[in-house]
């Protein structure tokens, strides 16, 4: 089979995996999902191009928070709201009463406002993703609330899946070896936290595609030299990204450094054409997205318009520097890495500490190797993009520490630059390990992420979402026992996962999707391992 067909097979397997994740995930379990969905609904139902950040959420969405179980992180919501833990402790009669009330939500409530205390706060995000999803919701107008959420999730994961062939192209441009590029795509396709991040209504799905495009166009500029069409494409991906997610602001200095590198090259490359290329890239990006950030400055006095920035807009540089010194950085970085590897959605489903530490060792080894390779232009470009994003994460730690008293940031944000992260880790591990090891360490990475995905889904997520396990008093998650899984039975668990999905997802649909997920995961492990270790390693970095 040709490399291109194998890449398509990895892409299809990734889609199969995401479709199951999106169908399995309980209503509103995705990070901030109910607010993201409310913004889409307000646009779709009322024809609004922009939604005020203090707009009340639709009444049926507000009612669903009282009827369906909410994530553990929303346990502070007032009764009758209950968490997944509490929902499965209710009597069967009480659960059925909630299910019937959810199914009977009046259609008129879709266009009515909910209580003013619950706002569509994600309206502070740039609008491009919501514009794209509004037609999906209009097409699903005849469905119930649960089915509409599933429809938006499935549309989102199909959009997100474009990141896999693009990541393959990025890895191919870096390594010039189809086998290694295929293994990189397989590793990414097996990451469970990325699947959870994408399997919801939320703008991360579009952001990762645009960030991957930006990375690839940058690599093509490095390979071919400044060309007008490449610069225009880079500017368009930057502009569209800035209109999707505020974290794209971290890409602005990365792109600026790329063109600065061209300007610092020998004199023959300094020309009028390079000046035009630089202007075209900046001009297209500004033409697409500048209006949104000008609007933020006018309305909020901040560039991003995000909540923490609003709370701290009067803080001076000295105050922020003083706060940064007081941050316990090792703990903050640990929380970012932990929630990047696996955090299990909005219910904070973590796994054993040693599992994270095993990956931490691989990360440290990769960092050592990348330092050795950072003078190679493709690696340097990926490193600049990734480092700029990490600086944004650390800045967010300072904002959250000052505004909420918690030294942390969201590790799943890092999946926006997965097309830089995976090739960098692969290149770093290859540089630090003996050549006798060949590509087998990469095959080991494929195997480790495959095992992590199978374990976290079947022994953590599904048992928790179906009520077999719950959080302890300390907040830690109880472990599931094989005897409990066997006694409950797969069909019974899938029946529980199918509730509050509006009839769009039955247990039969979930069973078919689970089988497809399992087959796709096993195939990815085998294909990724085979691609990673076809023979002795060669020095193939460009």
Predicted confidence (pLDDT) per residue in 1-34, tens digit: 788 899 999 999 999 999 999 999 999 999 999 9
Q: Give per-residue pLDDT as tens, 340-371.
A: 999 988 999 989 889 999 999 989 989 998 98
Largest CA distance in the chain: 79
Task: Tell me the sheet residues that pair with 56.
Answer: 119
Considering just the CA atoms, what is the radius of gyration of the chain in Å?
23
pLDDT in tens, 474-512: 778 888 888 878 888 889 999 999 999 988 899 999 999
What value does the mean pLDDT take over residues 49-56?
92
What confidence score (pLDDT) does residue 465 get? Answer: 95
Q: What is the pLDDT of residues 173-184, one digit of tens each?
A: 999 989 999 999
Which positions ≥6 away from 39 have C-beta within 8 Å?
51, 120, 122, 123, 125, 130
Q: What are phi and psi of 471, to 5 degrees?
A: -75, 145
The DSSP letter of residue 54 is: T
The half-sphere exposure of 107 on its side-chain side, counting CA atoms within 13 A, is: 5
Per-residue pLDDT at 17:
98
Beta bridge partners of 477: 471
How many residues in the chain? 542
Predicted confidence at residue 16, as pLDDT, reads: 97
Q: Which positions ≥6 away from 253 have C-beta within 8 Å?
A: 388
pLDDT of residue 534: 61
Between 461 and 530, the higher pLDDT residue: 461
Bridge partner list, 83: 70
- Among 429-443, 460-474, 512-526, the minimum mean pLDDT is found in 429-443
pLDDT one-digit tens code per residue, 152-168: 999 999 999 999 999 99
Bigger pLDDT: 147 or 323?
147
Per the structure block, which two tokens stand in for 284?
């297209």
Looking at residues 241-245, what average pLDDT do you find? 96
Mean pLDDT of the chain: 90
Predicted confidence at residue 221, as pLDDT, reads 94
Q: pLDDT tens digits, residue range 255-285?
A: 999 999 988 877 555 677 888 999 999 999 9
Q: Indicate if the pLDDT at residue 187 is higher than 60.
A: yes
Mean pLDDT calculated for residue range 326-340: 93
pLDDT of residue 497: 95
Residue 440 has a pLDDT of 67
pLDDT for res 436? 59
- 397-402: long-range contacts, CB 8 A cutoff, minimum separation 24: 397/327, 397/329, 397/332, 397/336, 398/320, 398/323, 398/324, 398/327, 399/308, 399/309, 399/312, 400/308, 401/323, 401/326, 401/327, 401/332, 402/308, 402/312, 402/315, 402/319, 402/320, 402/323
pLDDT at 540 over 60: no
Instruction: Look at residue 388 in the predicted model and tell me its pLDDT.
Output: 96
Distances (CA, A) of 235 to 37, 241, 273, 364, 383: 29, 10, 16, 33, 19
396-416 average pLDDT score: 90
Structure tokens at 89: 């402790």
Residues 6+ apart with CB under 8 A from 278: 231, 259, 262, 263
Average pLDDT over residues 72-87: 91
Range of 146-150, 351-355, 427-431, 444-448 with top mean pLDDT: 146-150
This prediction has a pTM of: 0.94
Whether residue 526 has a cis bond before it, omega within 30° of 0: no
Question: For 367-386, how does the pLDDT look when each residue is reduced to its tens digit (9 = 90+)?
Answer: 998 988 888 999 999 999 99
For residue 98, give both structure tokens. 């909630």
Position 21 scores a pLDDT of 97
Span 407-427, average pLDDT: 94
Nearest-angstrom CA–CA distance, 179 and 530: 8
């Amino acid at each position: 089979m040709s490399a291109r067909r194998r890449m398509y097979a990895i892409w299809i397997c990734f889609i199969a995996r995401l479709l199951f994740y999106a169908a399995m995930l309980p209503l509103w379990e995705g990070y901030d999902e109910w607010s993201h969905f409310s913004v889409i609904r307000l646009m779709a139902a009322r024809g609004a191009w922009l939604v005020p950040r203090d707009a009340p959420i639709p009444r049926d969405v507000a009612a669903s928070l009282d009827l369906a179980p909410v994530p553990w992180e929303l346990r502070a919501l007032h009764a009758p709201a209950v968490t997944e833990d509490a929902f499965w402790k209710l009597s069967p009669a009480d659960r059925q009463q909630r299910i019937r009330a959810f199914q009977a939500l009046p259609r008129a409530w879709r266009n009515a406002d909910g209580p003013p205390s619950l706002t569509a706060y994600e309206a502070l995000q740039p609008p491009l993703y919501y514009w794209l999803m509004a037609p999906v919701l209009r097409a699903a107008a005849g469905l119930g609330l649960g089915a509409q959420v599933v429809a938006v999730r499935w549309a989102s994961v199909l959009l997100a899946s474009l990141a896999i062939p693009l990541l393959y192209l990025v890895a191919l441009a870096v390594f010039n070896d189809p086998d290694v590029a295929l293994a990189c795509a397989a590793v990414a396709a097996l990451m469970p936290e990325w699947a959870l991040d994408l399997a919801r209504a939320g703008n991360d799905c579009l952001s990762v595609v645009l960030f991957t495009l930006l990375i690839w166009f940058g690599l093509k500029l490095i390979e071919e030299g400044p060309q007008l069409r490449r610069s225009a494409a880079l500017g368009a991906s930057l502009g569209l990204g800035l209109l999707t997610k505020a974290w794209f602001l971290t890409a602005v200095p990365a792109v600026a450094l790329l063109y600065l590198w061209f300007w610092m090259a020998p004199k023959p490359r300094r020309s009028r054409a390079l000046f035009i290329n630089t202007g075209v890239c900046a001009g297209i990006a500004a033409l697409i997205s500048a209006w949104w950030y000008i609007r933020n400055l006018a309305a909020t006095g901040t560039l991003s318009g995000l909540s923490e920035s609003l709370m701290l807009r009067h803080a001076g540089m000295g105050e922020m520097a003083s706060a940064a010194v007081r941050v316990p950085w090792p703990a903050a970085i640990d929380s970012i890495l932990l929630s990047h590897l696996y955090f299990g959605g909005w219910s904070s489903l973590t796994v054993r500490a040693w599992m994270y530490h095993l990956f931490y060792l691989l990360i440290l080894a990769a960092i050592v190797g990348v330092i050795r390779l950072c003078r190679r232009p493709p690696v340097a470009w990926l490193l600049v993009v990734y480092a700029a994003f990490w600086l944004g994460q650390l800045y967010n730690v300072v904002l959250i520490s000052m505004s909420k008293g918690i030294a942390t940031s969201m590790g799943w944000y890092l999946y926006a630059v997965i097309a830089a992260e995976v090739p960098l880790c692969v290149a770093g591990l290859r540089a630090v390990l003996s050549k006798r090891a060949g590509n087998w360490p990469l095959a080991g990475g494929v195997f480790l992420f495959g095992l992590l995905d199978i374990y976290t889904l079947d022994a953590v997520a599904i048992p928790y979402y179906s009520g077999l396990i719950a959080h302890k008093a300390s907040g830690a998650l109880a472990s599931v026992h094989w005897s409990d899984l066997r006694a409950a039975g797969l069909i019974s668990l899938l029946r529980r996962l199918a509730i509050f999905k509006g009839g769009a997802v039955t247990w039969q649909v979930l069973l078919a999707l689970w089988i497809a997920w399992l087959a796709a995961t096993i195939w990815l492990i085998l294909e990724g391992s085979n691609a990673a270790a076809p023979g002795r390693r060669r020095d193939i970095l460009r």
